[in-house]
């Protein structure tokens, strides 16, 4: 099948995803086929124009087969669940594999920041992390993705030619060479095959 689904993927413990403008559609297309029994936690930062209220979790819960929630402070990360960062708060992964929220300054005008989620997850999961950066109109995520790579994790950038807005993927590519540059449909099939791929 997908050569990317070969060995390095079999030890993956968690997935982090970042997106900005155009992100809702992109996330729906990569998560749309995940089976109800998908076993890995997915933690996502999606920038939204309005910091106050978000219906992201509700919208995705209706469209996906896996459980979807806003990540709560000090919540222990559950397998097979998609967590979204709350608007207005940074979301991080802690060493005891729980989530934490914070209100430090914005990064690239963004809070939640993809950089913070990715870097903290990279510190915790090391090579057992898969990080995916998608469409977006700013540079958030590029440094975080490079940090994931340095920590031994696997990095994927959406093919900028396909991305609704290519600024974010291109900023990431300018900083480091990811393991894979893929279209959304290839990312979707890679995710779906993650667990079925023999280790």
Using CA atoms, how far apart are residues 98 and 18, in angstroms rounded to an integer?
19
Tell me whether residue 140 is one of the annotated catalytic residues.
yes
Task: Check 47, 90, 147, 180 and give the catalytic one.
Answer: 47
Identified binder of other proteins from the candidate list 77, 93, 172, 181, rule CB under 8 A: 93
Within residues 97-156, the interface with other proteins by CB under 8 A covers 98, 100-104, 116, 119-120, 123, 126-127, 152
Q: Give residue 192's Cα distance to chain centre.
A: 15
Residue 51 tokens read as 């910091």
Our CB check for other proteins shows the closer of 53 and 63 to be 53
Q: Does residue 94 bind other proteins (CB under 8 A)? A: yes
Our CB check for other proteins shows the closer of 47 and 186 to be 47
Least gap, CB of 74 to other proteins (angstroms): 5
Tell me whether residue 20 is one of the annotated catalytic residues.
yes
Residue 178 tokens read as 């990811």
DSSP string, 139-162: -TTHHHHHHHHHTT-EEEEE-TTT
Our CB check for other proteins shows the closer of 119 and 188 to be 119
Buried b (16+ CB within 10 A) or exposed e, 18-37: bbbbbbbebbeebbeebeee
How many residues in the shown chain lie near other proteins by CB under 8 A? Answer: 26
Identified binder of other proteins from the candidate list 15, 66, 90, 130, rule CB under 8 A: 90
Closest CA to 14 of 60, 76, 59, 58: 76
Tell me whether residue 96 is one of the annotated catalytic residues.
no
Contact 73, 112 (CB under 8 A): no
Closest CA to 148 of 169, 181, 183, 124: 124
Our CB check for other proteins shows the closer of 47 and 147 to be 147
Our CB check for other proteins shows the closer of 48 and 93 to be 93
Using CA atoms, how far apart are residues 53 and 107, in angstroms rounded to an integer?
20
Least gap, CB of 123 to other proteins (angstroms): 7
What is the set of active-site residues? 20, 47, 140
Tell me which residues touch other proteins (CB under 8 A).
72-76, 86, 89-90, 92-96, 98, 100-104, 116, 119-120, 123, 126-127, 152
């Amino acid at each position: 099948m997908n050569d990317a689904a070969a060995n390095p993927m079999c030890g993956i413990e968690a997935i982090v995803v970042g997106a900005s403008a155009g992100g809702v559609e992109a996330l729906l297309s990569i998560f749309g086929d995940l089976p109800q029994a998908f076993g890995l936690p997915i933690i996502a930062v999606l920038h939204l124009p309005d910091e106050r209220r978000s219906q992201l979790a509700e919208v995705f819960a209706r469209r996906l087969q896996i459980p979807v929630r806003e990540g709560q402070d000090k919540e222990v990360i559950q397998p097979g669940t998609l967590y979204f960062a709350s608007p207005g708060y940074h979301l991080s992964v802690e060493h005891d594999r729980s989530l934490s929220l914070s209100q430090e300054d914005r990064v690239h005008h963004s809070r939640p920041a993809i950089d913070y989620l990715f870097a903290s997850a990279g510190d915790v999961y090391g090579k057992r992390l898969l990080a995916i950066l998608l469409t977006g109109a700013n540079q958030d995520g590029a440094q975080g993705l490079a940090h994931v790579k340095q920590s031994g994790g696997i990095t994927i950038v959406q093919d900028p030619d396909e991305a609704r807005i290519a600024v974010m993927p291109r900023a990431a590519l300018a900083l480091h060479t990811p393991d894979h540059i893929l279209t959304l449909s290839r990312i979707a099939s890679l995710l779906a095959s993650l667990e079925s791929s023999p280790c």
